Amino acid sequence: MVSISIMALVFVSLFRMQSGSVNLVEAGRFYTNAPALAQEILGQIRPEKNPSGMEETPGISKQASDHFARQYPGMTWKCQVMDVAGDKKQDTEKSGEEPEPILSHAQGLKKIVVSITQAGRTYEITTFRHVHF
């Protein structure tokens, strides 16, 4: 009876080690693939100005999300493109004040955040791009 309980304890420990190893392999695969996939999404973003003067981002809108193809099942991505100068520039124009030097240089600067998610794991990359007019 004692030997059976010892064997049961050993088997439980082995199964726990095996599941931990599988979890580590999945985490390693995710954190290996996620940076490359995030770079792929960033490569699709090209902020530019169209002839009407409105800014646009071909390929990806200001906020987009989707999933990857069959190669990476369960992986989804989300992308946000935001203005850096934002409302401060408009506030200084309304008040008649001289804009801060940093804001005049930040005009056209975009903050891009890409998040890759799979099974509770998230990889996020933030970058900035300047749009030349």
Q: Say which amino acid occupies 18.
A: Q
Rounded CA gap, 13 and 113, in Å? Answer: 41
Average pLDDT of the residues in 10-38: 92
Q: 83 vs 61, which has greater pLDDT? A: 83
The H helix count followed by the E strand count for the chain is 3, 6
Is the pLDDT score of 4 beyond 60?
Answer: yes
Rounded CA gap, 40 and 66, in Å? Answer: 13
pLDDT tens digits for 33-58? Answer: 999 999 988 888 765 555 544 455 44
Question: How many alpha carbons lie under 13 Å from residue 98 in its C-beta half-sphere?
Answer: 3
Rounded CA gap, 126 and 84, in Å? Answer: 12
Average pLDDT of the residues in 5-28: 91
The answer, as to whether pTM is greater than 0.75, is no
